[in-house]
């Protein structure tokens, strides 16, 4: 076995072990309900409400930031759908007997986490226009990412990949 194969095998072992450990949080009903709520809001509801609120509060000044968020959202959606079709990684609860699904899924595959990808991208874009929102957006984004693993819907590596891709799309959008 090559060094690269051994490293990859170790990373996958770590990914699965951390997934199991974090999923044990499902034993707390309060935590499950809270993270289910965060995950449900992360389906898009939170971000659409944010865009609408920005338009209502800031009127014409918010048109560019909201259009920027919409553009980034479209690019993120296309990116993650393409990756999911290409990687076809099953979700943890589908292949690991010790993992329980804590919420319904929007699609079949696990890699990358679309919730995390969008949360990071939208947080970076909205936060660049309205820095005061960081106090709400950053914790929501962190909770969104955590919810995906704790609820047994993603591996930690899915969330890290989603965060990385979301950040890359958002940062690239500032150069356009």
| pTM of the predicted structure, to 2 decimals | 0.93
Query: What DSSP element (H or E) covers 52?
Result: helix 46-58
What is the block-wise mean pLDDT of the chain (176 residues), using blocks of 10 residues? 84 87 79 93 95 97 97 96 91 88 88 96 98 98 95 94 97 94
Structure tokens at 81: 């759908």
Q: Which CATH number do you get for residue 132?
A: 1.20.144.10
Residue-range definition of the domain harbouring residue 62: 3-173
Question: How many domains, in total, are found in the chain?
Answer: 1
Taking Cα atoms as reference points, which of 166, 69, 78, 48 lies closest to residue 117?
Answer: 166
Cβ atoms of 126 and 67 closer than 8 Å: no
- Calculate the dihedral angle through the C-alpha atoms of 24, 25, 27, 32, rounding to the nearest 10 degrees: -140
């Amino acid at each position: 076995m090559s060094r690269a194969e051994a490293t990859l095998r170790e990373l996958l072992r770590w990914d699965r072990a951390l997934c199991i450990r974090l999923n044990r949080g499902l034993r707390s009903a309060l935590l499950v309900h809270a993270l289910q709520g965060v995950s449900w809001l992360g389906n898009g509801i939170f971000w659409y409400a944010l865009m609408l609120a920005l338009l209502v509060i800031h009127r014409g000044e918010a048109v560019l930031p909201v259009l920027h968020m919409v553009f980034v959202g479209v690019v993120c959606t296309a990116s993650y759908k393409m990756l999911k079709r290409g990687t076809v990684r099953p979700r943890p609860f589908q292949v690991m007997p010790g993992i329980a699904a804590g919420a319904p899924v929007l699609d079949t595959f696990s890699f990358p986490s679309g919730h995390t990808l969008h949360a990071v991208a939208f947080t970076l874009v909205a936060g660049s226009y309205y820095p005061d929102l960081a106090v709400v957006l950053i914790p929501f984004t962190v909770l969104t990412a955590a919810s995906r693993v704790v609820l047994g819907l993603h591996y930690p590596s899915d969330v890290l990949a989603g965060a990385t891709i979301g950040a890359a799309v958002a940062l690239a959008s500032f150069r356009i």
